[in-house]
């Protein structure tokens, strides 16, 4: 008779990390635009998976929001923390519109 031992390893999930994200809201989604960080100095666009807040009222605006970054690149926003800085700048809009999908 052969006995098998099976080891179960539990992976401890990552804990939420507090973050403040600044970006532009276009088409109901928040995009973080980092200017001049790529090799060719063009803006790099990061679409954010924001949960816990309705971004529709902030369409076309540059906003800053605090929250927790969770595993799977999910960002759970604190709706009380949102601040607006006026309209998104044209360079950010172009970068978001031109990003590869």
**Rounded alpha-carbon distances, angstroms, from residue 86 to 6, 38, 60, 65:** 58, 26, 9, 14
Per-residue pLDDT tens listing for the chain (101 residues): 555 444 444 455 678 999 999 999 999 999 999 887 667 778 889 999 999 999 999 999 999 999 999 988 899 999 999 999 999 999 999 999 987 55
Cβ–Cβ under 8 Å, residues 18 and 85: no
Tokens 């044209």 locate to: 90
The verdict on residue 62 lying in a domain is: yes
The verdict on residue 64 lying in a domain is: yes
The verdict on residue 77 lying in a domain is: yes
Number of domains the chain contains? 1
The verdict on residue 12 lying in a domain is: no
The verdict on residue 4 lying in a domain is: no
The verdict on residue 57 lying in a domain is: yes
CATH number for the domain that contains residue 61: 2.40.50
Number of residues that make up the chain = 101
The verdict on residue 51 lying in a domain is: yes
The verdict on residue 66 lying in a domain is: yes
pTM of the predicted protein model: 0.77
Expressed as residue numbers, the domain containing 76 is 17-89
Q: Rounded CA gap, 48 and 68, in Å?
A: 12
pLDDT of residue 45: 92
């Amino acid at each position: 008779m052969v006995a098998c031992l099976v080891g179960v390893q539990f992976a401890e999930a990552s804990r939420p990390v507090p973050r403040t994200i600044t970006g532009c809201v276009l088409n109901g989604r928040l995009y973080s635009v980092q200017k001049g960080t790529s090799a060719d100095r063009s803006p790099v666009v990061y679409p954010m998976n924001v949960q816990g807040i309705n971004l529709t009222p902030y369409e076309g605006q540059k906003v800053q929001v605090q929250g927790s970054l969770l595993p799977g690149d999910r960002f759970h926003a604190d709706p009380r923390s949102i601040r607006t800085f006026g309209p998104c700048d044209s360079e950010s809009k172009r970068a978001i519109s031109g990003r590869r999908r």
